[in-house]
Structure 1
Amino acid sequence: MTSKKIIAVFGATGAQGGSVARAVLEGKKYVVRALTRDVTRPKAQALRDLGAEVVEGDLNDKASVEAALKGAYGAFLVTNFWDHSSKEKEVCQGKVVADVAKSEGLKHVVYSGLENVKRLTNGKLEVLHFDGKGEVEEYFWSIGVPMTSVGGAAYFENFFGPLKPVKASDGDYYTLGTWRHCLLGDIPMDGISVADIGAVVCSIFNSPEEFVGKAVGLSAEALTIQQYADVLSKSLGKEVRDAKVNHPPEAYEKLEFPGAKEMANMCRFYQMKPDRDIKLTHRLNPKVKSFSQFISENQAALKSS
């Protein structure tokens, strides 16, 4: 019998890691070693029921990472800046995995990365939750780990949370996209369902000769805030309006809430149209959903939000 190669999936009980773990399990080509800080969580048990090997993995503990990657063919790595809001900590976590992947001789790491905005703009913009991932991506390549970097887009699921339609106080309608429109205006915003990322990553693992050493930008489609609002209007049966509040980034970044400057700089970067490849995304996952399809399949979640 030929034993299957092992893919270690960090953050396997999270949204993105969970999507990857399930997709790789469905592909039946690899053994999935699902890494999580808490192996007793219901989501961990669900992965175990699907056939994953569920083990404890802590990005802050090098020994834990070494144990997690022992004997693995490849790994999927996602880090979460918002767990601690520290670029330095995120970079440290990523470099630990890179170093261990190098020493263990992994053949393919797929890293959930983003651009190093500070470097690309010669220090003019700083977007901490992008920049740290960009630094880690550069480090992987600098030490010679066979790696593919996958850069995502805004999650469609955000329209059930931070981007959800808000009922207007002066009428029977909803408004959408206040801060996004402030900073993006009519520039289309790339989006994808996090649930569709897993199949993309699985396809990348299946084609290392094409993707090792490359950065891939993902997007199901790019719509303006008004176009997103139009789709939501049809689903809710009530008008969803683009808020059309006009705050230039210079004014927006001075608003008194945590992360205002971070969001302003992120949207300044989006205005530069970073590379997101819709055609390639659809080739890697032919079942990737448009925003309209996603909302149609998740009407209950939208209405409950």
Structure 2
Amino acid sequence: MTKTVLFAGSSGNIPRAAIAALDGKGFRIKAGIRDIAQGKALFDRLEDVEVVELNIEKPETVEAALDGVDYLYFATLLAVPGEFEKTYVDAAIKAGTVKHIVHSTGSTATVPDVFPRCSEFIFEREAHARESGIAWTITRPCMFMQNLSSMQAASIRDDGYWIEPIDADAEIAYVDARDVGQCVASIFQSPETHAGKIYTITGPEVITSAKMAEILSGVLGRDIAYNPITAEEWTTQNWGDVDVSVGENWLFEVLRENYVGFSQGAEGRNILNANVKQITGTAARDFRTFAGDHLQAWK
């Protein structure tokens, strides 16, 4: 019997990769998104995908999107206010058909002594799925390689460097969001195997910002530099529309906590694992592969 899976926030890197991996695998896929036109542009080429409006500010769209759904995916985002996770879980319970939830959060919850604020936030959000009575799996990805091809892309492309409040030699187990999406797709293909499990998702190696700059220089054929700043010097630089400018701002303080922990190596060898290969059967992409696949972001 064909299973129906709903991806909330389907314009994100993880759900886009998961949807592409599941397309043609016998699923009916609902790509939930606020902007239908954007969704059609993203998914119209895929045969098994139906783009549906999903906007928590319009409760009727949440209920309609979950109609007949067997599996549900959503992710927690620090920059998004409100407990939207509870909205999804409550709607899934009300729908009565949802048999499995995959919730993506963050690897900082794996090291709560270093990241107390962020971990507390994640634990609270994860609890909605864990206490729902519906089978669940939680993925906790590490820092995304895609940060360099999105938030930092303009600086790398135009100025030949990027700036972050992370020590140049701090090791981080960066992960390609495409691999996290592949993990989500694999979980939905065998949900019973992964029920009740929490997976920290990392790349296949730890890598420093200095080494990433060296790799980018090689693949782009020009010098790319990394210029670290301290957490105290950090303001809104390189964060676009995310308001982290006020010291009393909760998001600012959580991100500062994260950067201090990253510089201490708290997202490095201590969390490095092979969960991508264990879940999908294929090894995670390393940063050199990622850089080669994303050249256009920096050209």
TM-score bracket, normalised by the shorter chain, equals 0.7 to 0.9
CA offsets 1:270-299 (integer angstroms, 9 cap, x no match) = 443387453111333416421101111222
Native 8 Å contact 2:164 2:227 kept in 1 = yes
C-alpha separation between the residues in 1 aligned to 2:126 and 2:50? 27
SS in 2 for 1:243: strand
**1:281 maps to what in 2?**
276
Native 8 Å contact 1:65 1:97 kept in 2 = yes
C-alpha separation between the residues in 1 aligned to 2:76 and 2:4? 20
C-alpha separation between the residues in 2 aligned to 1:95 and 1:16? 20
Native 8 Å contact 1:36 1:57 kept in 2 = yes
Is 2:13 aligned against 1:15?
yes
Q: Which runs of 5+ in 2 are unaligned?
A: 238-243, 246-250
Is 2:86 aligned against 1:95?
yes
**2:53 maps to what in 1?**
56
Distance change >3 Å, CA 233–CA 289, structure 1 → 2: same
Distance change >3 Å, CA 116–CA 144, structure 1 → 2: farther
Structure 1 residue 232 displacement after superposition: 0.9
Distance change >3 Å, CA 255–CA 211, structure 1 → 2: same
Distance change >3 Å, CA 56–CA 174, structure 1 → 2: closer
Distance change >3 Å, CA 143–CA 230, structure 1 → 2: same
Q: Which runs of 5+ in 1 are unaligned?
A: 168-172
C-alpha separation between the residues in 2 aligned to 1:131 and 1:23? 32
TM-score (norm 1): 0.79
Higher relative contact order (CA 8 A, sep 6+): 2
Which is richer in helix? 1
SS in 1 for 2:117: coil
2:287 to 278, 287, 291: 291
Is 2:98 aligned against 1:106?
yes
**2:209 maps to what in 1?**
225
Superposed, which structure 2 residues align to 1:80-229 within 5 Å? 80-82=77-79, 85-86=80-81, 89=82, 91=83, 93-103=84-94, 104-114=96-106, 120-121=112-113, 125-127=116-118, 131-164=120-153, 166=155, 174-181=160-167, 185-220=168-203, 221-229=205-213
C-alpha separation between the residues in 2 aligned to 1:35 and 1:268? 35
Root-mean-square deviation (CA, aligned residues, Å) is 3.2
User: Which amino acid in the other structure matches residue 243 of structure 1?
Assistant: N
**1:239 maps to what in 2?**
223
CA offsets 1:32-59 (integer angstroms, 9 cap, x no match) = 0111112223x42442441212211112
SS in 1 for 2:166: helix
Identity over aligned pairs, percent: 20
TM-score (norm 2): 0.80
User: Which amino acid in the other structure matches residue 278 of structure 1?
Assistant: N
Aligned residues: 281
Distance change >3 Å, CA 254–CA 228, structure 1 → 2: closer
